[in-house]
Amino acid sequence: MSTTSKDGCWGLVQVYTGNGKGKTTAAIGLAMRAAGWGKRVLIIQFLKGRDTGELHSLARLSPLVKVIQAGSGEFCQPGERPPGLAEATERALGLAETALASGEYELVILDEILVAVSAGLAPLERVLKLVRHKPKSVELVLTGRGAPPELEAEAHLVTYMTEVKHPFRCGVEARRGVDY
């Protein structure tokens, strides 16, 4: 599934999952690194739609980095489905399929897609097909809690973010510039 180029092995599948903080942050760090080497990057943020610091930073890396948000911007608990979320997820999956097929990007990040799978918004079989049929030259990153074993099995790298301690547990709200 991978290819070797002057940059070494490129075109792997990475999964960042677990209950700890840092999955999106790790993926964005990878996007910045890739852009630093002139790679074209697409980030599709499933379930997200609010203004965040990373959007402002990544906009400065345009045209190498493009971010598309596919959510309402409203925080939702597991099991909740705000109006329009299923449709937004469907559009995001279509965008991901088109982007992967286009050959335009060397790194595609599907941020929070694993949560969309867990919530039943993104069919697992469709996401597995995305992973299995992506071009060999495209590095693909999937983030979010609750990675299904089938996706972990397809990945070349799986990283679990484990929460040991979190300020939310003692009432600290999400902080601008740190948490969003």
Domain ranges for the chain: 3-170
Angle subtended at Cα 46 by Cα 144 and Cα 86, rounded to the nearest 5 degrees: 115
CATH number of the domain at 3-170, out of 3.40.50.300, 3.40.50.720, 3.40.50.970, 3.40.1160.10?
3.40.50.300
Per-residue pLDDT at 32: 96
pLDDT band at 175 (very low <50, low <70, confident <90, very high): confident
Angle subtended at Cα 19 by Cα 124 and Cα 153, rounded to the nearest 5 degrees: 40
pLDDT tens per residue across span 111-139? 999 999 998 999 999 999 999 999 999 99
Query: Rounded CA gap, 78 and 92, in Å?
Result: 19
pLDDT tens per residue across span 150-165? 999 999 999 999 988 8
- For residue 121, how many C-alpha atoms fall within 13 Å in the half-sphere facing its CB? 26
Stated pTM of the model: 0.88
